[in-house]
Amino acid sequence: MRAIADEMVRAARVLLARHPEAGAALSDRSRRFIDYTPITGRAGVELAALGGPERKAAFQLLGAALSQHAFAQAMAVIALEEVLDRREEFRRGRHSEDYWVVIYGTPGDDAWAWRFEGHHLSVSMTVVDGRVSPAPLFLGANPARVDALGRAVLRPLGVEEDLGRELLTAMSPRNRELAVVSDVAPYDIRSGTQPVSSRIEPAGVARSALRPGERALLDQLMSLYLGRLPDELAAALDPGSSPNGEVHFAWEGPPQPGTRHYYRVQADDLVIEFDQTTDDGNHAHSVLRRPGGDFGDDVLAEHHTRD
């Protein structure tokens, strides 16, 4: 994990050397912030203001926090802003440079943090004593699917959607009855833009109640989301290593593709949500949050206790 932290330090220093306006105090109130809507006035510096070396440093910072496939998803999400703008006949002026990077504290100090954020993307990392605490981590897509001849040309969150549905449809009637907690999907992921996440009720069906094949699919779904992070960071969040290793899965809305639907996976310190937010099922949101570790609460608490 130290190597990941060092990579983040190097990239953040390059960015700050040329754009000190990207920096803020670790105590700044904006640090506990997640907003994946197309707002204005985010903290930090916009990609549009960065030259070549600084922009590369910003992407290196993001790349250090994400696995290879999640980095590809994030870059696709950024590019989709241009696609969405074209669909809206360029009325709203969306663009792929409207993403912001902010560095909290001094990279390399005992405690510092950073965020890379814009429409449908929010990645927050806190680094304390060389340990990286990830979350929140949000990826969305609008459009969620671009087709040609009835086949997907681009579908950044397709695996997340398909695997969640595969798990639901594989369940026995009894387990499906426990898993489906509502016939109507919510407007958005339930954690939304709240600065603090918490467990969501009802929990749905417990992993221990699933049949072996169903458990395997649930484990695969969890691994997909944890796999958005480099292996070392993902391993630290594995529910199997927590005192309470029970995992729950819940679904809301109809099971059919092309509809508004939602699911969540929850464990001791893990909340995963996926939502198709429109009736045509073509606007997706997904997030990984940690009720005990969002914005580095876990490592910062240990640091303050120790020091």
pLDDT value for 244: 64
Please check the confidence at residue 242 and state whether its pLDDT lies above 80: no
- Can you name the residues that pair with 305 across neighbouring β-strands? none
**What average pLDDT does this structure show over 119-131?**
97
**Mean pLDDT of the residues in the chain:** 96
Burial of 102 (0-12, 13-18, 19+ CB in 10 A): buried
Length of the chain measured in residues:
307
Residue 306 has pLDDT above 90, yes or no: no
Residues near 272 by Cβ (< 8 Å), separated by ≥ 6?
Answer: 221, 222, 225, 264, 265, 266, 286, 287, 288, 289
Q: What is the pLDDT of residue 1?
A: 75
C-alpha 169/C-alpha 180 separation (Å) is 11
List the domain boundaries for the chain: 2-142, 157-295
Using 50, 70 and 90 to split pLDDT, how confident is the model at 106?
very high
Q: Alpha carbon of 296 to those of 29, 111, 132, 136: distances in Å?
A: 14, 10, 8, 9
Rounded to an integer, what distance in angstroms lies between the CA atom of residue 169 and that of residue 249?
Answer: 13
Asked if the model's pLDDT at residue 243 lies above 60, the reply is: no
CB of 85 closer than 8 Å to CB of 97? no
Query: 78 burial class (0-12, 13-18, 19+ CB within 10 angstroms)?
Result: buried
Q: Give the H/E segment covering residue 98.
A: none
> What pLDDT, on a 0 to 100 scale, did the predictor assign at position 255?
96
With H, G, I as helix, E, B as strand and everything else as coil, classify residue 127: strand
